[in-house]
Amino acid sequence: MGTSMCLENAIAHAHDGLVERLATARTVHLRPEQSRRGCPPIDLFLSAASRHLHAVDEVLVPAARNRCPDGRHLVHDYVASLKGLEVALAHAKAHEYGSAWETGYEWDGVWDEVDAGMADHRRHEELLGLDLTDALPDPELERLTGRLEAVEEHAPSRPHPYLPHTGAGGWASRRLMRVVDGFWDAVEGRYTPEAPPPPHKRPGLIGQYLMADPRFDEEESAE
């Protein structure tokens, strides 16, 4: 049984960030002539939400199925909630780009549907995190948390509610759709969250010499 709260904290942090992005997206009022062009706040919310959902599919769902006492039932309920949210996100994406099927809907109704789906999904994902925390030792929890964050940076950027989510089929579909989503994001000029750049490695002594940029330790500088 783990004592670390790292996984539960990571889940809470991810959903708090999505709630903030959703609140920003809801303040946007698109005019009819803006359809089919996309909108940065809406694109960023939909992309961030989709990437998080795909990352949970890849990292937490298999772990919960294999390691939690009631893993199969837990995963079954989670995937049902996940698909409901993905349908709502796909609905918002279609509404943003002016789909002919969306003419009878208003944005308030679309966002209310997304909001309800996010609340239900958060409850089920928190159950995954809680059961995994009870079932796994701290080193495994820390490894899962780090892998969840790493996978999220490169996960597909669009919801895919009707593709496989678990098993080999889910793994293969995520690999394929990551490429497909990247292509269509570029074609549509869609905004997606960018991963922070890796920190620059401090140059060694030879590098400092070649760049004529010596770096002195703080203690030596003080002396």
With a cut of 50, list the residues of the chain below it in pLDDT.
196-199, 218-223
Q: Are 53 and 86 in contact (CB under 8 A)?
A: yes
Helix (H) or strand (E) holding 103: none
Q: How many helices and strands (H and E) does the chain possess?
A: 8, 0
Helix (H, G, I), strand (E, B) or coil at 221: helix
* Interval 107-164: pLDDT, tens: 889 999 999 999 999 999 999 999 999 999 999 999 999 999 999 999 999 999 999 9
pLDDT of residue 190: 81
Q: What is the pLDDT of residue 218?
A: 45
Residue-level pLDDT at 97: 79
pLDDT digits (tens, 9 = 90+) for 155-169: 999 999 999 999 999
Could you tell me the residue ranges of all domains in the chain?
6-188
pLDDT, residue 133, reads 95
User: Residue 25: CA atoms inside 13 Å, Cβ hemisphere, count?
Assistant: 31
By C-alpha distance, which of 183, 163, 182, 181 is closest to 173? 163
- Closest listed residue to residue 108, CA positions, set 201, 20, 8, 26: 26
- pLDDT score at 219: 42
Residue type, 88: A
